Structure 1
Amino acid sequence: LIVLFSNRWYWQGQKLPSYVKFMEQNYPPGFTYAKFAPQFRAEFFDPKDWVDIFASSGAKYIVLTTKHHEGFTLWGSKYSWMWNAVDVGPKRDLVDEIATALRAHSDLRLGLYHSLFEWFNPLYKADADKSFNTSVFPTTKTLPELFEIVNKYKPEVLWSDGDGDAPDSYWNSTGFLAWLYNESPVRDTVVTNDRWGCGTICKHGGYYTCSDRYNPGHLLKHKWENCMTIDKKSWGYRRDTNFSDFLTIEQLIASLVETVSCGGNLLLNVGPTHAGRIVPIFEERLRQMGKWLKVNGEAIYNSSAWRVQNDTVTPGVWYTWNQKNTIYAIFLSWPADGYIVLSDPVVSLSKTQVYYIIYCVYIYIYIYIYIYIYIYIYILYYYYYYVFLIY
Structure 2
Amino acid sequence: MNFIALTTNILVLNIFFVYGKKYEPNWDSLDKRPLPQWYDDAKIGIMMHWGVYSVPSAAGGEWFWGVWGHYGHPNSNSSQSKFMRNNYPPQFTYQDFARYFTAEFFNPDDWADLFENSGAKYITLTTKHHEGFTLWPSTYSPNWNAKDVGPNRDLVGELAKAVRSRNITFGTYYSLYEFYNPIEGKDKRNHHKTNEYIRRKMFPEMLELVEKYKTEIIWVDGDWEGKAEYWNSTGFLAWLYNESPVKDTVVVNDRWGLKLKGHHGDFWNLKDNFASVTLIKHKWEGTRTLDLWSWGYRRNMNLDSLVPTKDLIRLLVRDVSCGGNFVMNIGPTHDGRIDLVFQERLLDVGKWLKINGEAIYKTRYWTYQNDTVSQFVWYTKGQSAVYAIAIEWPKENVLQLGSANELFVNKKPIVTMLGYPDKLKWTITNTPNKTVSITFPNRATVKGEWAWALKIK
Question: Which residue matches 2:277?
Answer: 217
2:386 corresponding residue in structure 1: 327
- 1:52 equivalent in alignment to 2:88: no
Q: C-alpha deviations, 1:52-71, integer Å up to 9, x for none?
A: 01111111111111000010
Q: Secondary structure at the match of 2:234?
A: helix
Q: Which amino acid aligns with 2:57?
A: L
Question: Conserved in 2, the CA contact under 8 Å of 1:364 and 1:379?
Answer: no
> Which structure's relative contact order is higher, taking Cα pairs within 8 Å and 6+ residues apart?
2
1:66 paired to 2:66: no
| Contact 1:364 1:380 (C-alpha < 8 Å) held by counterparts | no
Which residues of structure 2 form unaligned runs of 5+? 1-51, 72-76, 444-448
Give, as a single letter, the amino acid of the residue that structure 1 aligns with 2:133. Answer: F
Aligned match of 2:451? 385
| Aligned amino acid, residue 450 of structure 2 | Y
Amino acid in the other structure paired with 1:368: T
CA gap of 1:380–1:389, structure 2 versus 1, over 3 A, is closer
Superposed structure 1 runs of 4+ greater than 6 Å apart: none
TM-score by length of 1: 0.95
Contact conserved, 2:355 with 2:418, CA < 8 A, in 1? yes
1:336 deviates by 3.6
1:171 deviates by 0.7
Distance 1:350 1:225, change over 3 A: closer
Q: Is the 8 A contact 2:416 2:423 kept in 1?
A: no
Give the superposition deviation at 1:380.
4.8
Deviations 1:278-335 (A, max 9, x none): 11111111111111001000100010000010111212110001143x1111111123
* Shift in Å, 1:370: 3.3
- Of stretches 301-310 and 14-23 in structure 1, the one that deviates more from structure 2 is 14-23
Residue in 2 aligned with 1:12?
66
Q: Which moved more, 1:334-343 or 1:189-198?
A: 334-343
Local SS of the residue matching 2:202: helix
Please name the residue that 1:248 is paired with. Answer: 308
Counterpart secondary structure, 1:111: strand
**In the alignment, does 2:403 pair up with 1:344?**
yes
Answer whether contact 2:415 2:456 (CA < 8 A) is retained: yes
Residues 68-147 of structure 1: pairs in structure 2 closer than 5 A: 68-106=129-167, 108-147=168-207
Aligned to 2:172, what secondary structure does the other structure show? Answer: strand
Cα distance in 1, alignment partners of residues 101 and 188 from structure 2: 30
The separation in 1 between residues aligned to 2:94 and 2:102, in whole angstroms, is 15
3-state SS of paired residue (1:8) = helix
Could you tell me the percent identity over the aligned residues? 47
* 1:118 CA displacement: 0.2
**Residue 355 of structure 1 corresponds to which residue in structure 2?**
416
Measure the CA separation in 2 of the matches of 1:94 and 1:158.
17
The secondary structure found in structure 2 opposite 1:63 is: strand
Cα distance in 1 for partners of 2:65, 2:92 equals: 12
Q: Which 10-residue stretch deviates more, 18-27 or 86-95?
A: 18-27
CA distance, structure 2, for counterparts of residue 250 and residue 161 of structure 1: 29
Aligned partner of residue 147 in structure 2, secondary structure: coil
Q: Secondary structure at the match of 2:259?
A: coil
Q: In the aligned structure 2, how far is the partner of 1:304 from the partner of 1:137? A: 41
Deviations 1:71-112 (A, max 9, x none): 000001011011000000000000000111122112x11111
For the aligned residues, what is the CA RMSD? 1.6
Q: Structure 2 vs 1, CA of residues 150 and 364 (structure 1 numbering), >3 Å: closer, same or farther?
A: closer
The secondary structure found in structure 1 opposite 2:185 is helix
Instruction: Verify the 8 A CA contact 2:319 2:326 in the aligned structure 1.
Output: yes
Structure 1 residue 126, shift from structure 2 partner? 1.2
Cα gap change, 1:164/1:122 in structure 2, threshold over 3 Å: closer, same or farther? Answer: farther
The Cα of 1:364 is off from its aligned counterpart by 9.6
Question: Aligned partners of 2:157, 2:353: CA distance in 1, in Å?
Answer: 29
| 1:235-256 superposed Cα distances (whole Å, 9 cap, x missing partner) | 0110010111111111101111
- Say how many residue pairs are matched: 387
Aligned mates of 1:339, 1:232 — CA distance in 2: 35
Residue 333 of structure 2 aligns with which residue? 273
C-alpha separation between the residues in 1 aligned to 2:315 and 2:276? 11
- Partner of residue 40, structure 1: 101
Taking the aligned partners of 1:264 and 1:218, their CA distance within structure 2 comes to: 10
State the TM-score, normalized to the length of structure 2.
Answer: 0.82
Retained in 2: the 8 A contact 1:364–1:381? no
Do 1:213 and 1:227's aligned partners in 2 also have CA atoms closer than 8 Å?
yes
| 1:185-334 superposed matches below 5 A | 185-324=245-384, 326-334=385-393
- SS of match in other structure, 1:9: helix
Q: Distance in 2 between matches of 1:269 and 1:67?
A: 16
CA distance in 1, matches of 2:245, 2:441: 56
SS at match of 2:375: coil
In structure 1, what residue type is equivalent to 2:386? Answer: I
Q: Residues 35-66 of structure 1, C-alpha deviation per residue, up to 9 Å, x if partnerless?
A: 10000000000000000011111111111110
